[in-house]
Each structure stands twice: as structure tokens, then as C-alpha cells.
Structure 1
Amino acid sequence: MRLIIAEKPSLARAIAEALPERARREDGALHAGDTVVTWCLGHLLEQAPPEAYNAADKHWQLDRLPIAPAAFKHVPRPKARGQLAIIRRLIKRASSVVHAGDPDREGQLLVQNVIEHLGYRGPVQRLLINDLNRPAVKRALGALADNATFAPLYRAARARAQADWLYGINLTRAWTLLGRQAGHSGVLSVGRVQTPVLGLIVRRDNAIRDFTPYPFYPLWVDVRVAGGELRAWWVPRAPHPLDDKGRLLERAPADALAQTLPGSHGRVARLSQQEKRQAPPLPYSLSALQVDAARRFGLSAKIILDTCQALYERHRLITYPRSDCRYLPDEHFGEAQRTLAGACRSDATLGGWLDGADFSRRSKAWNDSKVGAHHALAPSGKTPDFARLSATESRIYRLIARNMLAQFYPPLVTFEVKTELTFANEAFRASGQQVLDPGWKPLFTTREEAPPLPPLTEGEACEALAAGVETRETRPPEPFTDASLIKAMMNIGRYVDDPAVKRTLRDTDGLGTEATRAGILETLVARGYLVRRQKALRATKLGSALIGALPEAVATPERTAQWEQRLSAIAESQDDEGAFQQALLTDLRGLLTQSDAGKLRHSLQTAQGEAVPAATAKPKRPRKKSAPKTRRPAAPPKGSRS
């Protein structure tokens, strides 16, 4: 008997439907001739608790840390014992096993843990499925691989899981026990990914709290040229008082110049004109979809993920959603017209866009070299019944179909103009854009980014018609939302200074993965570290206190970069998981020596607004750019923007 073990029941059903013989359900499995398909329910196993290794660790004690098992154990999840018993019974009869976990690191770990936990030692093949529709599943069944090929990926996944256990168990116990000494009765959870995400939000909240606004004074001038009129903005220079962004900090110079401008003559000193061609946005990865849908519809990352799972598993309208890739296999190009015809025919908007698509066009989205375990989200080709979809499912589906359709539209072609005008030896700048060919843009928006400028010629004369000075005020950074936080997690390298760490974070998945980011946000909310205020994600007093008390290295993303670098090397057989774990234990011991109940007590009291002595700081003044002999004032608050 051949036993196929799928990660979820929906995948098991799709596999059974693609087998040559009709399947019947019996005893927790689907039987089709000599092949039996069964399933996990997500993770059937979990890491054993500390007391499974030593009974003394059932009670939390600082002097028992770090807890480091010599060999890790797994135990069944309480609600999974029945399904695990079914797989145990079937695997004893199996002459071969097919591993049908999701095609990623976590999927490799999930099913292989079950196979190894049950002691199976026979041949194992690997089935990789990205699309639950029957033709795609049949192709995958005809291209089984040797599971041994994925052993390095499994070792990397196992190393990650064990390291997260060591890190979370030891630091959570340490800071929870310190919290009790400091008067906090609850658990203070610390994690390798969740805590840097919380730190990101706390630092943003602090920047907003500490921000001191200050005014600046932009000057505009309306100008007549031979081809029409335009508005330009003054570019002040030293010795006028400027901040680091070149904004004028005193009004008097702008007022004085504005009075002299009307009726004066100048010229077009510089002119840059170029035609730009912009390719359509690529199909979505999960995170890119979460960012876009959260901005458009105000949905949480978790709702978007759950919606995608429903579109994939229940409705079978899209391909595997937990993908970090925005490219498609080359072979999908030839099937795209048929796929999109089926995907779009029942919707008037999508159908209209389908009619405008040119399927002879080939965008850069089709690229085998950029497709790994997953490819981008795409419609499966099944025709949707929108009456059976929720409003949110319909919206998300249309976004996925739209980005796929956009690959068959011409590029957006614009004519962009930037100019610098001079009046009385002062520079003024203006820019504009003219759409020559909207290409794919109408599928996304009909709004123009900048109005076009009139025709200009470098060196031509111009006349100032009117001028004015505005009073504006710098604004603090915006609080994080689901959309901006997911984007920050994707591009976490922007928030670190070390160039090597930046590069590693850029080359990996960033902070968290496509499959875990939404869950991390919900975990932080559930544990009382974050709250949602309308669309904004804000740290609670408890979340702020925890970040204030932890060593900086725990609350910043550099460790993730270091881990991912080594995990990638393990997955490529270039590093050893044992050495990785020993390095982690050395790191943990160093972090535990930095645990300080007094610091945590102070942090908790400060966050709760209790009477804690604090230095009184004077408001910061913005830095001014001035003549060399002028003394330079203090820098403006970080995060200021116009």
C-alpha cells in the first residue's frame, strides 16, 4: 500500500480526486485502489514542555535557566491524538509513503515530524503542490521527488523550531520571574520574532510621543512662460536658516522675497524631460497582498490570510496563498489565457479587463529562475460563483485576478518634466507628468499623480505673476497599521544600521514569514502588548514596559538576520545545526546575565505613569543650515516630515 500524508484535509481531498481510481472515505482516510490518502490537521505534534525532560522544570526557577535538552522530544497536540492514531495504524501497513506537506520549510517539518515520530523507516517520496485544481495535482503526482533530497531543508526547519523553543522558553521564564519580583503577576512572553516586532511599534510610538513640531515656510510663485502657466517652489539656501530637509525655518526671508517677485522676469535655467515606461505591478505574494488589501479595505493581515486560505482550500479559486514569491513559472504563460478566461468570465469588471488583455504580451512575471518552492498568487482558472463568496472574498479574489490580468497590458508611458527657474539669482523648482499611454494603470486607478507642465524650452524667459508664503508644520511619523507593519516586516533591513545585517535581511524573508506575520500581530494583541485603535496598531503600557526592560538585542531585528543566514546555510548543507544550537545557547547565557528586576520594575512603573524620577528635557530645536561662522543649533526631532 502507498500512503500519502497531506498537511490538511483539503489537500488530501484534492489529491484523492486526481488519482486514477475513484476514492472512498473509510476510517479517517481516502482509499483509491492501492493508494490511501490521509491527512494531518496542521501540526499534530508540538515540542515537549521542559518538565518532559526534567520534572524539576515544571516549576519556574531562575537558577534552572537556561533549559537545554540534550535531545528534543515531541508530544501529540491534545486535539490531534485521534488523527495521529489513524496515521499510526495506516503507516504500519504502508510499503511506501508520500510526504505531501505544503511546499515550504514549515510544510517539510510538519509532515516529516509525524513520519519520524511514528518510526517509519521505509521509502519516502515528496509531493509538491501549489495549486489544488485537478490538472495541477495530476501533474504533481506524476513528478514525485525523493524526500531525501529535502533532508537539508528539514534540518534547517528543525533547527529553527528547536531554537525558537530554547529562545522563547528561557527568556519568557526569565522575564516573567523578574516581573513577579517587580510586582507584575502575569506571563511576560518573549519571542525571537514577536519581540522585535513589538520593539518596532514601541520605538515608533515613542518617536510620536517625543516629537516636537516646528513650523517651516515654503514660498510659491506662479509663473508665465510662452506655453502657459505653472507654479514653482523656492529652493532656499544658506545662510538662510534651514533644517536637514532644506525647509526654511524663519518666515522673514520668504516674505521679503515674495514681495519682490510679482512682475519680475527670470529664465528657465535647467530642464529635464524624459519619457518613462513603467511595467505593470507583479502578481502578488501574500505579504504584498496583505499590504495592498489592508490599505484599500482596512482589513487586518489575519483576515486577509484567512480569506486567501478559504479561496484556496474551500473555493479552489486561487493557487497556494502562503507564498513569498511574486513570479510565475514559464509554463504558466502558455496556459494564462485559458486560466484567466475561466477566472474572469462571471464578473463584469474582470470580464471587461479580460477583453482588453493582449495575450501575446509576455511580462517579466514569468521567470523560472525566480520561482522557488512557491510561485505568486494567481487564479486557478475555476470560474467563481460570486453569490457563494463573501464580500471580502470577492474583493481579495478580484485583486489577485487583476494583478494577473495586468501582465497582459502595455506599460504605463509618461512624459515627465522637471525644471529649475531663476528669479533674482534664486532657484525655483517645478515638476509635472503627462500620461502618453495609460497601459495597465486604469486597472488600478484613474487618478493622475501630477498635472503636466506647459511646454518649456531651456533658457526661455519667464515672468512671475504672483507669489505667496505658506505656514506649515512638521508632523510626527504615522503610527503603524497592519499594512505598514507588514511592509516594515518585509523590508525590515530599513530599520537597522549594520550594512551586512541589512543585506541579509534584504536577501531573506525579512522579519517573520508569509505564513506567520499575520499570526504574530494577532498574538501580540492577544497577549496584551498591542491594541488596535481604528486602523492604528499601538503598544500598550505593558508592551512598552517589556521592551524598555529587555536587552536591546532582544527587541531589535538583527538576531533574525543572523539566524536566517545560518538556517539558509543549513538548508544548503553548508552549516551544522548542532553548531548553530551551541552558538544560540552561548547567546542565551549572555542575555540571561542581563536580566534585571530593578530595571523591569522601573520600566513597568514608568509605563503605568507612577511616580518615577525622570530627567526633564528641554524641547529640541531644529538644526539650521547656515553660514560657516554661524554656530549650529541642535538637530530636529527624528521622524519629522512635511
Structure 2
Amino acid sequence: MRLIIAEKPSLARAIADALPGGSRREDGALHAGDTVVTWCLGHLLEQAPPDAYDPAFKQWRVDHLPILPTRWQLVPRAKARGQLGVIRKLLKQTREVVHAGDPDREGQLLVQEVIEYLGWKGPVSRLLVSDLNRPAVQRALARLEDNARYQPLYRAAESRSRADWLYGINLTRAWTLTGRQAGHDGVLSVGRVQTPVLGLVVRRDAEIRDFVPYPFHVLWADLAVRHGQLRAWWQPGENHRLDAQGRLLDRAPALALAERLPAAEGRLTSLVTRQKRQAAPLPYSLSALQVDAARRFGLSAQAVLDICQRLYERHKLITYPRSDCRYLPDEHFAQARATLESACRSDETLGGWLRGADFRLRSKAWDDKKVGAHHALAPTGKPAELARLEHAEADVFRLIARNVLAQFYPPLAINEVKAEFTILEERFRASGQELLEPGWKPLFATRDEAPPLPPLVEGEPCRVEACDVEDRETRPPEPFNDASLIKAMMNIARYVDDPVVKRTLREHDGLGTEATRAGIIETLIERGYLVRRKKTLRATRLGDGLIASLPQAASRPERTAVWEQRLTAIAERGDDPRPFITALVEDLRDLLDSADAARLRQAMATAQGEAAPTPSRRGKAISTRRRSGKGKPPPRRRQRNNA
């Protein structure tokens, strides 16, 4: 018997449906001839709690820290024991095991840790499925690989799990115990990803709160030229008082010039025209989709992830969604026309875009060299009856299909025009764009483009028809929302000051993963550190106080981003994970030494974040119940890794 272990029931059903002869369900598995397909239910196992290593660790005490397991243990999740028993029984009857976890780091860990926990010593193959439609699954079944090839990926995922446990367990206990000394009775959760994300929001809120606006002034002039009229803007010279962005801080020079401008004549002294061609945006990764869906439809990152999971598992309309890749395999190009025609023809909007596509074109989106364990999100080719989907599901599917369809449109071509006029020995600038070829742009246009400049010739005269001075004021940065926070997590190098680290992070960007970013935001809200105010995300007083009490190293993105670099090196180059864990333990000792009750008390007293709404029941379990006795944590569910 051959046993295939899928990550979840939906994948197991898709695999069984692709096997010859049909299947029957029996005792937590699907039987198809000599092949049996069973499944996990997400993670069946989890890192053992501290008291599994020493019963004394059930009490939270400072003198226990750091807790450092010498031999790591996994334990079954409470609701997973039954399915774990099914897999154990089937392993005793099989000759070969096929690992069918999702094609990513966590998917590799989820199934392989079960196989190893149950003591299987025989051969293991790897099945990589990114599309649940039957032809795609059949192709994947014909291309089984040796699971040994994916051992580095497993070691990276295992190292991530252990590191998160070490970091979350030790720092959460340290800050919770310190919090008690400072008069705070709740659990203060600290994690290697969630805490730097919270730090981003706290610092942004502080920038907004501390922002002191100041006025600046602009002078515009409407100019008559040979073939029409345009608006140009005065460019004050360095002899005036300017800010770092070149904005005029004194109103008087602008007013004095404005008095002299009416009917003044000048000349076009510089004209630069540059033709630009811009290829269509690439197909989506999950995070890129979350950013666009938040901007266009106001959907939270978690809502987009949930929608994508339904489109993938229930409706089978899109490929594997938890992808960080924006490229497609070369083999998809040959099938793209048939796939898109089948997927899009029943929807009026998509059908219109489909009719405009030129399938002779090939964009840079198809590139095997840039495709890893998974590829960009794309339609599977199953006919999409969007009228039967929820409205938000249809919206998200159209975005995914649109970005793939756009690859079969020509580039956007424009003439970018920059004109500089000299009037009364002062410089005035105007800019505009001339559309040469709309290309893919009509698929994406959400607002009218600025009108182009009239035809211009360098040296031609101009005359001032009207002018005015506008008084403006600098504005604080915008608060984070789901879209901008996900984008910040994707492009975390922008928030790093160290030039060496910044340069490194440009190559290995990202805080969290495609699969975890939405969950991190929701966790911070659930734990009372963030709140949603309309469409924005703001820190609470609890979140503000926690960040103020932590050393900067724990609340900034550098550490966790470097973690991801090291985990990538383990996964892609096969680096030994032991130096990574050793370095983490050294960092952990330094962080634990910095816990200070007086600092925490002061931080909580001066915190200026927003008041959190009444926590949910689960939130109370985490953050608001009072401790039940000396040396014990507040009553709560089993402590999780606080990533």
C-alpha cells in the first residue's frame, strides 16, 4: 500500500479524485486501489510546553529563565489525537509514504514532523500540488520527487519553530513577571515578529502625535503658449529660505513676485521629452494582493487570505495562494490562453479584458529561474461563475485574473514632458504626459489621468495670464492601515537605519511571511495592542507602553529580518542550523538582562496610545485576567509560541 499524507482534507480529496478508479472514504482516509490518502488538520503537533521539560517550569519564575530545552519535544494538539491515531495505524500497513504538504516551508514541516514523530523509517516521496484541479494534480502525481531533496527546507522550518518558542516563551515570561512588579496583572506577550510589527505602528503613531506642522507657500502661473495654456510652478532659488524638500517658508518673496507677474512675458528655456515604456504589473503574490485589495475594496489582510483560501480549496478557481512569488513557470505560458479563456469567459468584465489580450505576447512574468517552491497566484482554468460567489470573492478573483491577463497586453507607452520657463529672470516648471499607447493601463485605471501639456517647442514665447500664491501646511505621515502595514512588512528595509543592514535587507526583504502577515495583525488586535479605528490601525496604551519598556533591539525589525535571512540560508543552501540557535540564545540572555520593573512602570504610566475596546473572551484569557497565586501566570490557555 502507498500512503499519501496531505496537509488538509481539501487537498486529500483533490488527490484522491485525481487517482484512477475513484475512491471511498473509510476511517479518516480515502482509499483508491492500492493508494490511501489521509490528511493532517493543520498542525497535528506543537512544541511541548516548558513544564514538559521540567514540572517546576509550570510556575513562572525569573530564576528559571532562560528555559533552554536540551532535547526538543513535540506533543499532539488536543483536537488532533484522533487523526494522529489514524495516520499511525495506516503507517503500520504501508510500504511507501508520500509527503503532500503545501509547497512552502511550513507545509514541509507540518507533514514531515508527523512522519518523524510516528517513527516511520521507510522511503518518503514528495508531492507538490499548487493547483487543486484534477489535470494539475495528475501532472503533479506523475512528478513525485525524493523528499530528501527538501530536508534543508524542513530544517529551516524546524529551526524557525524552535527559535520562536525560545524567544516567545522566555521574553513573554520575563516581561509578564516584570509587569507584575510594576503593577500590571496581565500577560505581556512578546514575539520575534509581532513585537517589531507593533513597534512600527507605535513609532508611526508617535510621529503623528509629535508632528508640529509649519506653513509653506507655492506660487503658480497660468501661461499662454503658442498652442494653448498650461500651469507652471515657481522654483525659488537657494537665496530664499527653503525646507529640506525645497519648499518656500517665507510668503513675502512669493507675494512680491506675484505682483510683478501679470502680463509678464517669458520664454521656454528648457524642454525635455522622454519616451517611457512600462510593462504590466506582475501577477500577484499574496502580500501584493492584500495591499491592492485593501486599497480598492477596504478588505483586511486576513479577509483577503480567507477569501483566497476559499477560492483555492472550495471553488478551485486559483492556484496555491500563500505564495511570496510574482512569477509563473515557463510551462504555464503554453496553457495560458486555454486557461484564461475557460476561467474568464462567463464574466462580462473579464470577458472584455480577455477579448483585448494578444496571446502572441510573452512578458517577463514567465521565468522558471524566479519560481521557487510556489509561483504567483493565477486562475486554474476552471470556469468562474462569479455570480455564484460572494461579492468580495468575485472582486478578489477579478484582481488575480486581471494581473495575469495584463501580461498579454503591450506595454504602456508615454511621452514624459518637463518644461522650464524663464519669466522675469525666475524659473517656472511644468510637467505632463502624452499617452502614446495605453497598453495594459485600461485594465487598471481607477481615476482620470492628468491632462497632457499642449505641444511645445523650446525657445517659444509665453505670457502670464493669471497667478496666485497658495498657503499650505505640512502634514503628518498617514497612520498605518492594513494595506500600508502589509507593504511595510514586505519592504522592511525602508524602516532600518543601519546602512549595512539596509543594503542586505534589500535582497532579503520581509517581516513575517505571506502566510503569517495577516494573522500577525489580527493577533496584535486580539491581544489588545492594536485597535482598528475606521480603516486605520492604531496602537493602544498597552501596546505603546510595552514597546517603550522593551529594549529597541526587541521592537525593531532588524533582528527578525536577519532571522529570515539565516533561515533562507538553511533552506536554500543547506546551512547548519545550530549556529543560528546558538546566536539566538546569546541574544536572548542580553534581552532578559534588560527587563526592568521601574522602566516598565514608567512606560505604562506615560503611554499615550488609544484605549482598547473591551477585549474578546479570548483576549481576556491572554491579557486581562488577574493572577491566581504567587509564582503562577494568569489563568489562560496553553502558552503558544509568540511569533
- Give the TM-score normalised by the residue count of structure 1: 0.94
What CA distance in whole angstroms lies between the structure 1 residues aligned with 2:207 and 2:573? 43
Q: Are 1:336 and 2:333 counterparts?
A: no
1:497 aligns with 497
1:345 aligns with 345
What CA distance in whole angstroms lies between the structure 1 residues aligned with 2:255 and 2:309? 59
Give the superposition deviation at 1:567. 1.4
1:628 aligns with none
Give the superposition deviation at 1:446. 5.9
- Taking the TM superposition and a 5 Å limit, the aligned residue runs for 1:262-411 are 262-411=262-411
What CA distance in whole angstroms lies between the structure 1 residues aligned with 2:387 and 2:442? 26
2:54 aligns with 54
Q: What SS class does the counterpart of residue 93 from structure 1 fall into? A: coil
What CA distance in whole angstroms lies between the structure 1 residues aligned with 2:29 and 2:512? 34
Larger mean Cα displacement after TM superposition, 265-274 or 535-544:
265-274
Give the superposition deviation at 1:114. 0.3
- Taking the TM superposition and a 5 Å limit, the aligned residue runs for 1:153-192 are 153-192=153-192
1:318-376 Cα distance to aligned partner (Å, 9 max, x none): 00000001110111111011101111111111111111111111111111111111111
What CA distance in whole angstroms lies between the structure 2 residues aligned with 1:9 and 1:270? 66
What CA distance in whole angstroms lies between the structure 2 residues aligned with 1:132 and 1:42? 17
2:473 aligns with 473
1:7 aligns with 7
What CA distance in whole angstroms lies between the structure 2 residues aligned with 1:365 and 1:387? 29
Change (3 A) 1:486 1:124: same
- Taking the TM superposition and a 5 Å limit, the aligned residue runs for 1:230-629 are 230-445=230-445, 447-607=447-607
Give the superposition deviation at 1:596. 0.6
- Give the TM-score normalised by the residue count of structure 2: 0.93
What CA distance in whole angstroms lies between the structure 2 residues aligned with 1:522 and 1:431? 43
Q: What SS class does the counterpart of residue 125 from structure 1 fall into? A: strand
Task: Give 1:122's aligned amino acid.
Answer: G
8 Å contact kept, 1:103–1:373: yes
Give the superposition deviation at 1:575. 2.8
1:73 aligns with 73
8 Å contact kept, 1:412–1:440: yes
2:123 aligns with 123
What CA distance in whole angstroms lies between the structure 2 residues aligned with 1:373 and 1:46? 24
8 Å contact kept, 2:223–2:466: yes
Give the superposition deviation at 1:494. 0.4
What CA distance in whole angstroms lies between the structure 2 residues aligned with 1:436 and 1:579? 56
What CA distance in whole angstroms lies between the structure 1 residues aligned with 2:214 and 2:503? 35
Task: Give 2:427's aligned amino acid.
Answer: A
1:633 aligns with none
Q: Are 1:94 and 2:94 counterparts?
A: yes
What CA distance in whole angstroms lies between the structure 2 residues aligned with 1:608 and 1:399? 39
Mark the runs of 5 or more structure 1 residues left unpaired by the alignment: 610-642
What CA distance in whole angstroms lies between the structure 1 residues aligned with 2:398 and 2:59? 52
What CA distance in whole angstroms lies between the structure 2 residues aligned with 1:298 and 1:351? 25
1:613 aligns with none
What CA distance in whole angstroms lies between the structure 1 residues aligned with 2:551 and 2:415? 51
Task: Give 2:135's aligned amino acid.
Answer: P
Aligned-CA RMSD value: 1.3
1:626 aligns with none
2:43 aligns with 43
2:615 aligns with none
Q: What SS class does the counterpart of residue 287 from structure 1 fall into? A: helix
Identity %: 71
Give the superposition deviation at 1:421. 0.9
Q: What SS class does the counterpart of residue 218 from structure 1 fall into? A: strand
Task: Give 1:561's aligned amino acid.
Answer: A
Q: What SS class does the counterpart of residue 470 from structure 1 fall into? A: strand
Mark the runs of 5 or more structure 2 residues left unpaired by the alignment: 610-643
2:136 aligns with 136
What CA distance in whole angstroms lies between the structure 2 residues aligned with 1:506 and 1:343? 36
8 Å contact kept, 1:98–1:124: yes
Give the superposition deviation at 1:53. 0.1
Larger mean Cα displacement after TM superposition, 327-336 or 262-271:
262-271
Give the superposition deviation at 1:398. 0.8
Task: Give 1:576's aligned amino acid.
Answer: D
Give the superposition deviation at 1:439. 1.3
1:623 aligns with none
What CA distance in whole angstroms lies between the structure 2 residues aligned with 1:445 and 1:562? 38
Give the superposition deviation at 1:509. 4.7
What CA distance in whole angstroms lies between the structure 1 residues aligned with 2:446 and 2:82? 55
1:617 aligns with none
What CA distance in whole angstroms lies between the structure 1 residues aligned with 2:401 and 2:525? 32
8 Å contact kept, 1:501–1:561: no
Change (3 A) 1:112 1:509: farther
What CA distance in whole angstroms lies between the structure 2 residues aligned with 1:213 and 1:348? 48
8 Å contact kept, 1:344–1:350: yes
Q: What SS class does the counterpart of residue 168 from structure 1 fall into? A: helix
1:34-70 Cα distance to aligned partner (Å, 9 max, x none): 1100000110000000000011110001111000000
Q: What SS class does the counterpart of residue 92 from structure 2 fall into? A: helix
8 Å contact kept, 1:12–1:39: yes
8 Å contact kept, 2:254–2:469: yes
Count of residue pairs brought into register by the alignment: 610
Give the superposition deviation at 1:554. 0.3
Change (3 A) 1:139 1:220: same
What CA distance in whole angstroms lies between the structure 2 residues aligned with 1:260 and 1:289? 52
8 Å contact kept, 2:544–2:608: no
Give the superposition deviation at 1:499. 2.8
What CA distance in whole angstroms lies between the structure 2 residues aligned with 1:238 and 1:366? 49
Change (3 A) 1:276 1:560: same
Q: What SS class does the counterpart of residue 46 from structure 1 fall into? A: strand
8 Å contact kept, 1:504–1:565: no
Q: What SS class does the counterpart of residue 471 from structure 1 fall into? A: strand
- Taking the TM superposition and a 5 Å limit, the aligned residue runs for 1:24-35 are 24-35=24-35
Give the superposition deviation at 1:527. 0.1
Q: What SS class does the counterpart of residue 307 from structure 1 fall into? A: helix
8 Å contact kept, 2:328–2:376: yes
What CA distance in whole angstroms lies between the structure 2 residues aligned with 1:277 and 1:195? 41
Give the superposition deviation at 1:518. 0.2
